Amino acid sequence: MKKSFHSPFACLLRLCVATSVLYMTAISGLDAQTVPVSTTELYKAPFTTAPPTVDGKGTDACWADAAWVSINNLYLGAAYTPADFTGRYKMVWTASKLYLLAEIIDDTLRDDHPDPLTNYWDDDCVEIFLDEDKSGGFHQTNYNAFAYHVSLTYDPIDGDATAHILKDDIFTRRITTKHVSVWEFAINVYPDTYVFGGKNVPVTLFQGKKSGFNIAYCDNDTGVRDSFIGSRFEKDGDKD
């Protein structure tokens, strides 16, 4: 693969990380005992009737119904300490959008490239991998799957043979306090028929849907991507 509920009976979206699962089933969002257990291999994202306000605060009630999962697998680059980088995420969903909350501890935030389409992977950014139909396969120069690099200035970047800023795909906001950044994302999920600049229509999410998913972080401490850290263990994670 390339390149987030607050209801008595919430639906559960299982996100298969990378080539694994996004799957929905019913739980009670009012009982802390029913918060779904998720792992880096299988994320169970609860449905919400009250989606979060995407403002970087992460205080909306729906987030209490979703489980945290760590971002702690080094894909590429230098080893890191918890003070240098620590990350975790959770998700909920509605019929129209996937919502993602990420908490990132990074001792240095850098955006060294004025042109957002130049060496964007070398700046601090959150990378979101999304394969709508969990089909796997080649994706580097098409939209069979997406690998959104979301910059500190909120640009979601992916592409075909050329990199593009895909503003219609993801809306995000971040609040950074000292070394802790809280990111919130509202994500439109598109099929592999996506055409850059075309009239693309997001898919409707539903109970039982499966998708491929992973989240990673590009950590820039020295002007380049020093470490690339993801959630799901991948033998060749840097190839995504």
- Can you give the CATH number for the domain in which 87 is found? 2.60.40.1190
Is 2 part of a structural domain of the chain? no
pTM of this structure: 0.89
Long-range contacts of 28-35 (CB under 8 A, 24+ apart): 29/5, 29/62, 29/65, 30/6, 32/64, 35/64, 35/65, 35/66, 35/67
Question: What pLDDT is stored for residue 80 in this prediction?
Answer: 93
Domain range for 103: 10-239
Domain assignment present for 1: no
What count of Cα atoms within 13 Å lies in the side-chain half-sphere of residue 138?
A: 4
- Answer whether residue 5 is part of any domain: no
* Structural domain contains residue 159: yes
Is the pLDDT reported for residue 165 higher than 90? yes
Report the domain count for the chain.
1
User: Mean pLDDT throughout 63-76?
Assistant: 94
- Would residue 66 count as lying in a domain? yes
pLDDT in tens, 131-155: 999 988 666 677 989 999 999 999 9
What pLDDT does residue 208 have?
A: 85
